[in-house]
């Protein structure tokens, strides 16, 4: 049996009309982690969640969820879902929505009230529980949506754009809630393009665009594949040196040189050159990319026709002007 709660190989989806929403995705999601599926609009994120929760059928590929083939009905009882643009009946109260989902998920009648109480408290909706959904704000609806996704005490929870419409305080509460669910040993699979909210809590990410997987892994590992050094200097660089550095792949702007490398030794020739020209090196810093920069890097790279540089390839100090 697979060690992963999700173990997918070559998942494909072609919608009627010919849109290839997923073009063969391999993913392995370890148990008890917060997993982020990131990608721009139309990347295929919701399609993936819909396949995994059997709302639609895959066109190809294979996979297991909680050790059972995708689509296994019993397994779905251990799965929670907040769908994209979730719509719950307007005439139900927040409490009734949670109780309704409990009924669909075969939660024992004796358990329903207690669980609903706990969940309402968890998403800070106890006070508003008796009001109808139609009177709730967008963020309040999302909170109820998250609560109903947890009503069957799921081992894995799929949340499609969970903080859509949620205010900053609500997003902070959401992050705390996600951490708490992880501590309880659950796996949380989140689709989002609001990257900043995921960054502090996510364990692994997969980046998809146009139905293809562009990168996958622990955030820090992905970042260290594309590290930068920033060298700040005072004074004016000679045009010959600047041209030489730029032809060597460095980005030179006024007072700042950016090098795509993780090695301090690669930076030394640059510093030497600046000093030999009588310039003052005011700061040298190794930058790690934010999730946003990392994401944009992958997506931009997938949009260019020329093959991308090999990650981690050393920078040749070819920018140095001939002596």
* Binding residues for ligand ATP (CB under 6 A): 15, 17, 19, 21, 39, 41-47, 84, 193
| Member of 84, 117, 153, 203 binding Mg ion (CB under 5 A) | 84
| Member of 5, 38, 46, 206 binding Mg ion (CB under 5 A) | 46
Give the E-state strand segments of 130-201 in sequence order: 156-160, 187-192
Q: Which of these ranges, 37-45, 124-132, 206-214, 238-246, lies near Mg ion under the rule CB under 5 A?
A: 37-45
Q: Tell the smallest beta-carbon distance from residue 186 to ligand ATP (Å).
A: 22
- The reply to whether 277 sits near Mg ion by the rule CB under 5 A is no
Q: Which of these ranges, 39-47, 139-147, 196-204, 275-283, lies near Mg ion under the rule CB under 5 A?
A: 39-47
Contacts of 238 (CB under 8 A, 6+ apart): 277, 321
Q: Which helix (H) or strand (E) holds 58?
A: none
With H, G, I as helix, E, B as strand and everything else as coil, classify residue 186: coil
Q: Tell the smallest beta-carbon distance from residue 139 to ligand ATP (Å).
A: 18
Residue 36: both structure tokens together? 């982020």
Query: Which is nearer to Mg ion, 12 or 45 (by Cβ)?
Result: 45
Q: How many residues bind Mg ion (CB under 5 A)?
A: 3
Query: Which is nearer to ligand ATP, 50 or 186 (by Cβ)?
Result: 50
Q: Tell the smallest beta-carbon distance from residue 77 to ligand ATP (Å).
A: 25
Q: Tell the smallest beta-carbon distance from residue 50 to ligand ATP (Å).
A: 7
* Rounded-to-integer distance, Cα 206 and Cα 200, Å: 16
Find which of ligand ATP, Mg ion, none residue 21 binds, CB within 5 to 8 Å per kind: ligand ATP
Find which of ligand ATP, Mg ion, none residue 43 binds, CB within 5 to 8 Å per kind: ligand ATP
Closest-CA residue to 122 (of 102, 101, 155, 148): 148
* Rounded-to-integer distance, Cα 92 and Cα 134, Å: 8
Which DSSP state fits 15?
-
The b-or-e profile of 206-223 (16+ CB within 10 A means b, else e) is bbbbbbbbbbbeebeebb
Contacts of 298 (CB under 8 A, 6+ apart): 207, 209, 214, 215
Q: Tell the smallest beta-carbon distance from residue 29 to Mg ion (Å).
A: 18
Q: Tell the smallest beta-carbon distance from residue 206 to ligand ATP (Å).
A: 12
Which DSSP state fits 307?
P
What is the number of the residue whose Cβ is closest to Mg ion? Answer: 46
The order of strands in the sheet holding 251-253 is: 251-253, 256-259, 228-234, 280-287
* Rounded-to-integer distance, Cα 186 and Cα 205, Å: 17
Query: Which is nearer to ligand ATP, 60 or 135 (by Cβ)?
Result: 60
Query: Which is nearer to Mg ion, 155 or 161 (by Cβ)?
Result: 161
Q: Tell the smallest beta-carbon distance from residue 189 to Mg ion (Å).
A: 13
Residue 164: both structure tokens together? 């859509």
- Enumerate binding residues for Mg ion (CB under 5 A): 45-46, 84
């Amino acid at each position: 049996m697979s060690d992963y709660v999700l173990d997918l190989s070559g998942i494909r989806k072609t919608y009627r009309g010919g849109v290839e929403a997923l073009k063969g995705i391999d993913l392995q999601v370890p148990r008890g982690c917060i997993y982020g599926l990131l990608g721009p609009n139309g990347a295929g994120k919701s399609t993936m969640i819909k396949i995994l929760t059997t709302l639609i059928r895959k066109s190809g590929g294979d996979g297991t969820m909680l050790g059972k083939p995708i689509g296994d009905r019993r397994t779905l009882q251990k799965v929670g879902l907040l769908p994209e643009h979730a719509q719950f009946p307007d005439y139900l109260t927040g409490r009734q929505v949670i109780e309704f989902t409990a009924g669909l998920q075969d939660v024992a009648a004796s358990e329903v009230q207690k669980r609903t109480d706990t969940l309402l408290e968890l998403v800070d909706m106890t006070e508003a529980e008796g009001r109808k959904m139609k009177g709730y704000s967008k963020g309040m609806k999302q909170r109820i949506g998250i609560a109903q996704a947890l009503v069957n005490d799921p081992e894995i929870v799929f949340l499609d754009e969970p903080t859509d419409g949620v205010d900053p305080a609500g997003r902070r509460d959401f992050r705390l809630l996600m951490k708490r669910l992880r501590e309880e040993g659950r796996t949380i699979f989140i689709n989002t393009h609001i990257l900043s909210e995921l960054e502090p809590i996510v364990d692994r990410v997969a980046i998809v665009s146009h139905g293809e997987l562009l990168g996958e892994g622990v955030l820090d590992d992905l970042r260290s594949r594309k590290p930068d050094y920033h060298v700040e200097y005072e004074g004016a660089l000679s045009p010959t040196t600047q041209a030489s550095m730029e032809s060597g792949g460095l980005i030179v702007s006024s007072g700042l040189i950016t090098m795509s490398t993780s090695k301090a030794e690669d930076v030394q020739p640059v510093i030497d050159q600046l000093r030999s020209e009588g310039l003052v090196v005011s700061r040298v810093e190794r930058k790690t990319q934010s999730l946003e920069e990392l994401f944009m890097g992958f997506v931009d790279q997938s949009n260019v026709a020329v093959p991308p540089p090999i990650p981690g390839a050393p920078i040749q100090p070819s920018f140095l002007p001939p002596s």
